[in-house]
Structure 1
Amino acid sequence: MGTMKTTVPAFDQAIRSHDELIKRRDLAIWIGAEPTFTDRASEAPEWLHNALGPTKEARARQMLAQALGQMPGTAILRTLGRQYSKEDRPRWSLGLYRRRDGQAVWSGPPDPLLDSTPIALPAGQLEDFWEQLTQRLGVYGWPALLFAVETYPELRIAFRRDRLPLLANPERDPRLARPSPHGQAIPPQGPCDELAEQGTFLLGIGWPSPEQGLDAVAAPCVELPACPDGEMFQQLLAAIGAAANAAGLPALILTGFPPPVDASVAWTTLTPDPAVVETNMAPAPDVVTFLDETRAWFAAATAAGLAPYRLHYNGQITDSGGGGQLTLGGINPDRSPFLSHPQLLPALLAYFNRHPALSFYFAGDFVGSSSQAPRPDERTTDIFEEMALALALLKRQRNPTPELLWQSLSPFLADPAGNPHRAEINIEKLWNPYLPGRGQLGLVEFRAFRMPSTPERLATLAALLRAIAAMLAQTSDYPEPIHWGRELHDRFALPYYLRADLWEVLDELASAGLGLGQALIAELLDDGYHWLTEVGFGGCRLTIRRGLEFWPLLGDALTQEHGHSRLVDASSTRLEISLRADPDSGTEHQDLADWQLTVNGYRLPLRREDEMDGETRVYGLRYRRFKPWTGLHPTLEAQGPIELLLSHPRQPDALRLTLHEWRPQGGGYDGLPRDLAEAAFRRAERFVTERLETAPTAPPLEPPSTALTPYTFDLRRL
């Protein structure tokens, strides 16, 4: 869990100062994010693994209502959401559409977000609105035609804005009687409004029901066409609002196609994803603005009873389950830093390759080739070698085009199943000709981040990415990528080595004049997520942290590409065990080399690492924490509890630390932890510390070489 190490004013000042550093370099690097929130007290499928469920949309509406209170003049749009394979219709999408200059875009009746009580309209009032809206469109010089159809929405208006004549007989054009797109499958090429593409715009008015793919709602709806530009869309909103007010409608819901978005507007949506509500934030020009927006959405989630983390029965803390992706881009595609500085993206790939901390230190519990954000070098050696060649060839190009960048790098930025969306660095919206409407936006998404627990931590990660991008934008040279091999999932599975690698990144940023400052560094290096327990003995500190485990996918990835959670074997776990001198203990510590630490009777071969402030002994421990109902190694039983014994030949007593996966005294817990404090208590009681008056005299067992790697002792191989 992220915990603030400095006061909020000091943190905010550090953010402002770093924004200034980037601004002085004449770099425009916009930042976007997708924070995800869950109901941590619920064990319903929609809050554990399913994308859709009976209460999720209602929670999203609560979030939207809370945020709307801080943004007067904002339009609420319930537009088409995403659709995945094996889903027969689009998911819901709730959004806030506003102008960045603060001017209102909506002054019509409110959306009944939180009021499900159906309104009763006087006879003819909806038809009055229908006619009023036609007249308002005429004010803009948009000739309109009223007609009715038998499919929802029944009352329709067709209009053009180029003064060309409308069809005289709408009944002869079946497209004018098309069903609502909310109840239809999205075509493979994406949402398409064929009429709008030809200059005819179709509005629908009616009372929806679940049969049309929408929840039964308390007010009439207007179904919007796809608009080609923001000016027309805002004029259309003004006409609808004025007509609804003139007709006396007490409430109105706006549905249909998503709006056009440019630099003048901010469009944020709430959508369902497995286990979470996902907030697709409007991009911000700097981290100061990003932080303000993030704080608002965190507050909205809290008001709706949602959290950015989960608490497990045994007190373990994990993120929401939906990740905390971040996106870099420009005010528009042409001004994206990745296109205006075409060597930035290749340099970024090489830089992330050489610094695994950027892939793993901020990652969630599920990492590796089967995860939501695999690194390119977590695929095959052949793929890595071809990527290295691609980077070398790009380096020879003085000014590679956006097309060449995408063609050269996109084959390597995908998961093992070939899915470009599930990649650590996702460029499917950079300059992708195969993603209609949103593939050529100049955007790069960074997916290897767990959902941060605070808005401050999310903003710090945004500052880190902007700083790295600003540093690399100034260079046309970058080192060759490293093929880490087994070291990637061995050495860099331990927080100690990830932290050391992150310090290298921070030092390089400081040398480039882009140092983050003490407040942001303290937030980045916060150890709360990995830290489990610590105990002092004989002038030393024995610390246990959780490491990374690279859970394998069960079955074929392609068969699990349907927008839901994947099935993996999560039964193995990895701990980092470290020993350091404790200068504050008041006891003279013995030479660390003479300490002996055993695990279930086996000697743990601690590695010596030297730092500026002293020596550290560190090693990893891997074991099976439970036996899954389905998974790998059916003959391998759970291996807890784990017993650590720390002793020294010149010290008569010893320390025994027993690690339990569950309650040491047995039995179950009375529900999930109520809060972070109770979760911390449950974690603490799982680590039982005893001081033995007499150290054992029997020599420890030597672990077999097959159970040892350079950085980890794997108990599963005993």
Structure 2
Amino acid sequence: MDRSEFEQIIQTQDEQIATLGVDVWVGMEPTFTRRFAEIPEWLSEALGPEKLQYAYALLKEVHKRQSGGVVLHTLGRQYSGEDLPRWSLGYYQARQNKFVWQGPPDPCLTQESADATPVEPLESPVIEAFWQALNDALNASSWQATTFTAAKDLRYRVLFRCDSGTPTVDINNKPQLARASVHKTKIPVNGLADELAENGDLLLCLDKHSETPGSIVIELPEVPDVDSFVQLLSCIAQAANQTSIKTLVMQGFPPPVDASVAWITITPDPAVIEINQAPEDNALNFYQRCELYYSAAKAIGLHSYRLHYNGGVSDSGGGGQFTLGGPEPLSSPFFRFPHLLPRLVRYCNAHPALSYWFAPPSIGSSSQSPRTDEGVRESFRELSVALEQLENVEHPEPEFIWRSLSPFLVDPSGNPHRSELNIEKLWNPYLPGRGRLGLVEFRAFRMSRSSQCAAAIAVLLRSIVVMLSQEDRMPKLINHGTKLHDRYALPFYLCADLQTVFKDLQQTGLALHDSIKDLLLQEPVRFIGQAVFHGCKIELKQALEFWPLVGDVASQEGGGSRLVDASTSRLQVTLSVESHHPTQLGGWELWLDGYRIPLRLEQDQHGPVKVTGLRYRNFLPNIGLHPGIGARNSITLVLAHRGLSEALQINYYEWHPQGLAYPGLPTDMDDAEHRRSERFTTEIIPFQGYDQPRTPPDSAMTDYCLDLRRLPS
């Protein structure tokens, strides 16, 4: 779609929301990968020899498209078994021209090529001149500053306060003043904390940068507010320019953030590079930011998707979660409308499409985003009590909301990060520095293929939140029972459920534009193939599967991933009759291995349709369940009608039909589509029925699916 036309559509929806007076900011965590790379850091590992260089290149492209910000090297995640925090590159930028970085650039923004002219190392007099100039600039800002040296790395130090007071510590006696770099220290169990800053004493540590000749590195403290941080940056820029510093690396504690600044970070995650996108106040600004990041990633050869040898398409592998909140923590819509979050919990429970339609392949209780009804049964019952109690409190405090729901918005092991609705940053007193932000993260989202697809989801989520802030669309939790992983494993029913969400929005005056709905309903990676035979159309789509955990949850909690048995796949088969054809749908049958497949008669916008799911094992895992069940390399179906002497045989292959090796990964989407189409073949065969037609055993059938693993061999 034309960009200007799309922006106008989004802006119209933003204006509808604005009239209701509900501030809903939206952010995202887009992830990108090298889709042709087959080395561990782009397949499964978080760290690797080239990922940091790609992150530098990505940051450089972002800076080209949106200059004026400053690069900050802060601390990334640190998981069990890791000695030090992972790297994290940040870009700190004013939203309303509050400041523009006037100092020297980070060296990652100036690196052109490996054969560039070598830079001479800095000599001590230059470093000392910058050190003294920085001290003078701080004092000129009415901040009491003093210099001293330490025996450790980053030996040149400046101690100051930004409240016009004098430092409370003696520079000769305090052990914290000689502290090592936070980048060389393991993050404590209770989180990162600047003990000096807690008392108002701020410590700057600087020296020559060991990894970049000609650069100075300065480590920043935990500054209390944005205004003070901006003033500190101004002092640093002034001192650097005064002493002719060419490049400057700034690292240390994360900066303070409020609605006046946009703070993004680029970090490593298994198989991907992740951008933690700053939240935006409306969907239009969100889309424009997304467009910037997607184009920057594409410019350096990173993609939002992967293509597989057999033509399969998946997202980047890192997901694409969305975050909703407000301009400030206490201005979050989840606090301004305190009954909004309970309503949202019930609404997501009522509409499995919001959990599965946009999700990555791994879904269910062992996934990164389990629903509230995919955990412990007793917990789901207690959730009803918690929601009732919240409804009975007229003005619940933020911490009361968090404490009421946090025990239930977790995965089966109790991990609050792995939940469809993640509220660990809502008002969590146990998450230092970032637990009380008024944010709710929506985790059941794969990485969006394009910036327009991402923006369409942002429009949907903002509209749902605004709708629920005004009225309750689902007063009680629903126990879906076995239907959850049976009926809603099929795209047919998920699509119908999503259409119901669209109708809810329309009824509350927040109707989505048809172009937005079309983007949300797109499912090109699920389509396998279709054929028409005597007026009957048969269509195969990839359905959803819920992979079980292998082993226990607790023993795998310390790792970055969990072992699941992903060897089971599910197909959706639908039959429909062309409206102009006299053949009735009721006369058509579907056969597999001599078994008549049960079909459900349903209705869609075009008329009657028959639907079913087929479940089977498509490979043998090294470690998995059911070692006695073999794998199917192909599925062969026979579409027949009682009044015909011929039938249509449909073959679906997991790999190349002749079992041949592919020459390499698909070059592009067209090549991938060609390989997928090769795996779906049809032929007309003589057919008079089976002499001894077989009925599948009850154990192999559910209301919506036939499990081929349980058919007698």
Compute the TM-score of the two structures, normalised by the length of structure 1.
Answer: 0.96
- Equivalent residue number for residue 194 of structure 2: 193
Tell me the distance in 1 between the aligned counterparts of 2:82 and 2:536.
57
Bigger Cα displacement from structure 2, 306-315 vs 281-290: 306-315
1:29 to 24, 30, 47: 24
**Hey, what's the Cα distance between the residues in 1 that align with 2:17 and 2:551?**
46
1:427-506 to 2 correspondences below 5 Å: 427-475=423-471, 478-506=474-502
1:154-553 superposed matches below 5 A? 154-166=155-167, 170-209=171-210, 219-475=215-471, 478-553=474-549
Counterpart code for 2:105: P
Q: Deviation of residue 122 (structure 1)?
A: 5.2
Cα 1:218–1:325, aligned 2, differ >3 Å: closer, same or farther? farther
Alignment match, 1:55: 50
CA-to-partner distance for each residue in 1:424-461, whole Å, 9 max, x for gaps? 00111111111112111111110001111001111111
Structure 2 gaps of 5+ residues are none
Deviation per CA, 1:455-500, whole angstroms, max 9, x where unpaired?
A: 1111111111111111110125742111111110000000000001
> In structure 2, do the counterparts of structure 1 residues 430 and 299 end up closer, same or farther at CA, with 3 Å as the change threshold?
same
Does the 8 Å CA contact 1:10/1:519 hold for their aligned counterparts? no
Distance in 1 between residues matched to 2:216 and 2:282, nearest whole Å = 39
- In 2, Cα distance between equivalents of 1:132 and 1:466: 48
Write the letter of the residue equivalent to 2:646.
D
Structure 2 residue aligned with 1:658: 651
Counterpart residue number, 1:646: 639
Does the aligned pair in 1 maintain the 2:487–2:704 contact within 8 Å? Answer: yes
8 Å CA contact retained: 1:73, 1:103: no
Q: Describe the superposition over 1:286-330 as per-residue Cα deviations: whole angstroms up to 9, x where unpaired.
A: 000000000000011111211111111111111111111011111
Secondary structure of 1:430's aligned partner = coil
Asked if 1:144 corresponds to 2:145, the answer is yes
**Residue correspondence of structure 1 range 546-565 to structure 2 within 5 A:** 546-562=542-558, 564-565=560-561
Matched residue, 1:212: none
Secondary structure, aligned partner of 1:113: helix
1:591 aligns with 2:601: no
Does the aligned pair in 2 maintain the 1:417–1:558 contact within 8 Å? yes
Does the 8 A contact of 1:274 with 1:563 survive in 2? no
User: Aligned-pair distance for 1:167?
Assistant: 6.6
C-alpha contact (below 8 Å) 1:153/1:208 kept by paired residues: no
Task: Please give the alpha-carbon distance, in whole angstroms, between the structure 2 residues aligned to 1:668 and 1:148.
Answer: 64
Change (3 A) 1:596 1:699: farther
How many percent of aligned residue pairs carry the same amino acid? Answer: 47
- Matches of 2:567 and 2:468, distance apart in 1: 39
Taking the aligned partners of 2:385 and 2:472, their CA distance within structure 1 comes to 16
Aligned residue type for 1:367? I
CA distance in 1, matches of 2:230, 2:632: 62
The residue type equivalent to 2:243 in the other structure is: A
| CA 1:167–1:401: 2 relative to 1, 3 Å | closer
- Equivalent residue for 1:568, pick from 564, 567, 570: 564
State the shift of 1:207 in Å.
3.1
* Letter matched to residue 651 of structure 1: L
Other-structure match for 2:703: 710
> What is the letter of the counterpart of residue 14 of structure 1?
I
Q: Distance in 2 between matches of 1:423 and 1:371?
A: 9
Q: Is the contact between residue 217 and residue 248 of structure 2 (CA under 8 Å) also seen in structure 1?
A: yes
Among 659, 679, 682, the residue aligned to 2:675: 682
1:652 CA displacement:
2.4
CA pair 218-609 structure 1, distance change in 2 beyond 3 A = farther
Q: Deviations over 1:355-401 (max 9, x none)?
A: 11110111110000000000010012211111112112222222222
Amino acid at match of 2:486: D
CA, structure 1 residues 161+479, in 2 after alignment: closer, same or farther (shift >3 Å)? closer
* Structure 1 position 73 matched with structure 2 position 74: no
* In 2, Cα distance between equivalents of 1:334 and 1:613: 48
Using the alignment, how far apart are the partners of 1:553 and 1:21 within structure 2?
Answer: 44
Against the structure 1 CA distance between its residues 692 and 274, is the aligned structure 2 distance closer, same or farther, given a 3 Å change threshold? same
The alignment yields a C-alpha RMSD, in angstroms, of: 1.7
Does 2:616 match 1:615? no
Alignment partners' CA distance in 1, 2:166 and 2:517: 63
Mean alpha-carbon deviation: is it higher for 444-453 or for 156-165? 156-165
Q: Kindly provide the amino acid, as one letter, of the partner of residue 332 in structure 1.
A: E
Which secondary structure state, in structure 2, belongs to the residue aligned with residue 657 of structure 1? strand
The answer on whether the counterparts of 2:214 and 2:246 sit within 8 Å (CA) in structure 1 is no
Which amino acid letter does the alignment assign opposite residue 237 of structure 2?
G
Amino acid at match of 1:120: E
- Residue 506 of structure 1 aligns with an amino acid whose one-letter code is F
Whole-angstrom CA distance in 1 between matches of 2:685 and 2:280: 58
Moved more, 111-120 or 671-680: 111-120
Residues 148/342 of structure 1: CA separation in 2 closer, same or farther (3 Å cut): same
Please tell me whether the aligned partners of residues 600 and 642 of structure 1 are also in contact (alpha carbons under 8 angstroms). Answer: no
TM-score by length of 2: 0.96
Q: Is the 8 A contact 2:656 2:678 kept in 1?
A: yes
Q: Which fold has the larger relative contact order, with Cα–Cα distance below 8 Å and residues 6 or more apart in sequence?
A: 1
In structure 1, the partner of 2:90 is 95
Task: Determine if contact 1:50/1:564 at 8 Å carries over to the other structure.
Answer: no
8 A Cα contact 1:109 1:252, kept in partner: yes
Q: Offset at 1:610?
A: 1.7
Unaligned runs of 5+ in 1: 1-5, 210-214
